[in-house]
């Protein structure tokens, strides 16, 4: 029987690059995933590996090109890898590369010492000519300014309504480009800053409401972004019952849970006409 759509590649290639300048080092820490598609039927049907790149070769290529081409954005590095794999493999018709960049922060004034940074993991995917960028594992929390009221109550509803709760989520956001930015690094920083600034600047009657505000902020901050998708797990913080111990709990002591959790997802995008008569972005979720 014929083989259907298929890919193969190398996952979780861990690349650390130290950029050595006089008296000061910079650190790049990446996880790279490579996936190739092409004319691979013979390998499946008759065991003929003649034109197949070994996945070990893919790993080596990541390190070699890391030496020669990783001097800018992860998007540019991803493009270099995709171009190389399509050209190098005689049976390869397409390549997809996903890169995660793990943040490190310098330890004070030390020139060669670092601690693992916080603030999310930068990611990108390059699939042919299509580039998507984003951020993952961005943990944010606000201790007030959020509620959950007016929702449907039925026979299995037990959650009490509230106009004052902790809102905590781990932001996963990915954005598609309408046009290529002049500087991927600056665009990422602007999008990330928009998410962080907006998360705390409004009352959140729902995570859905906040999702749309975050998307609008990203689109306004980076004009080249066409649409942005968010996945926002609601990491619940539940008031702990201290009454049984004769103690009051005025929104001070919470039980933090990681599962199960609510998961809210949505895409915010520009309308075909990107501005209305008032000059404001028109978005849909």
Q: Which residue has the tokens 């650390």?
A: 16
CATH number for the domain formed by residue range(s) 8-128: 3.10.270.10
pLDDT on residue 118: 84
The set of residues, in sequence order, having a beta carbon less than 8 Å from that of 32 and lying 6+ positions away, is 12, 13, 15, 62, 81, 97, 98, 99
Catalytic site residue from 10, 61, 132, 283: 10
For the segment 27-43, the average pLDDT, to the nearest whole number, is: 94
Q: 10 catalytic, yes or no?
A: yes
pLDDT on residue 213: 97
Taking all residues of the chain, what is their mean pLDDT, rounded to a whole number? 92
Listed residue (51, 156, 140, 34) closest to 97, CA to CA: 34
Catalytic site residue from 31, 55, 121, 267: 55
Catalytic site residue from 84, 132, 198, 236: 236
CATH of 129-285, one of 3.10.270.10, 2.60.120.10, 3.40.50.2000, 3.30.420.40: 3.10.270.10
Residue 17 contacts residue 8 (beta carbons within 8 Å): no
Q: Which residue has the tokens 């065991």?
A: 47
Q: 55 catalytic, yes or no?
A: yes
Residue 206 contacts residue 148 (beta carbons within 8 Å): yes
Residues, the chain: 285
Region(s) of the chain under CATH 3.10.270.10: 8-128, 129-285
Q: What is the number of other CB atoms lying within 10 angstroms of the CB of residue 275?
A: 11
Task: Say if residue 32's pLDDT is above 70.
Answer: yes
pLDDT on residue 226: 97
Q: Work out the pLDDT band at 284, boundaries 50, 70, 90.
A: low
Residue 31 contacts residue 13 (beta carbons within 8 Å): yes
For the segment 266-270, the average pLDDT, to the nearest whole number, is: 96
Calculate what percentage of the chain has a pLDDT beyond 70: 95
Task: Say if residue 276's pLDDT is above 60.
Answer: no
Q: Work out the pLDDT band at 101, boundaries 50, 70, 90.
A: very high
Q: Work out the pLDDT band at 277, boundaries 50, 70, 90.
A: very low
Task: Say if residue 275's pLDDT is above 50.
Answer: no
Beta bridge partners of 116: 104
Listed residue (207, 209, 193, 197) closest to 261, CA to CA: 207
């Amino acid at each position: 029987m014929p083989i259907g759509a298929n890919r193969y590649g190398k996952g979780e290639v861990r690349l650390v690059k130290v950029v050595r300048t006089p008296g000061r080092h910079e650190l790049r820490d990446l996880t790279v995933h490579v996936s190739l598609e092409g004319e691979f039927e013979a390998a499946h049907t008759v065991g003929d590996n003649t034109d197949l790149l070994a996945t070990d070769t893919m790993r080596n290529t990541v390190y070699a090109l890391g030496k020669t081409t990783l001097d800018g954005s992860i998007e540019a590095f991803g493009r270099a890898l995709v171009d190389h794999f399509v050209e190098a493999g005689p049976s390869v018709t397409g390549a997809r590369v996903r890169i995660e960049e793990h943040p490190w922060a310098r330890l004070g004034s030390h020139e060669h010492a670092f601690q693992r940074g916080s603030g999310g993991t930068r990611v990108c995917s390059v699939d042919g000519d299509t580039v998507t960028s984003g951020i993952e594992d961005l943990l944010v929390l606000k201790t007030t300014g959020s509620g959950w009221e007016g929702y449907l109550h039925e026979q299995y509803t037990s959650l009490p309504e509230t106009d004052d709760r902790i809102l905590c989520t781990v932001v996963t956001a990915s954005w598609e480009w309408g046009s290529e930015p002049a500087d991927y690094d600056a665009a990422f920083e602007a999008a990330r800053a928009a998410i962080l600034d907006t998360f705390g600047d409004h009352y959140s009657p729902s995570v859905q409401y906040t999702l749309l505000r975050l998307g609008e902020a990203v689109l306004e901050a980076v004009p080249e972004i066409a649409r942005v998708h968010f996945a926002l797990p609601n990491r619940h913080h539940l008031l702990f019952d201290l009454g049984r111990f004769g103690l009051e709990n005025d929104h001070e002591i919470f039980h933090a849970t990681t599962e199960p959790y609510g998961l809210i997802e949505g895409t915010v995008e520009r309308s075909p006409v990107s501005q209305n008569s008032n000059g404001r972005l028109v978005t849909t979720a």
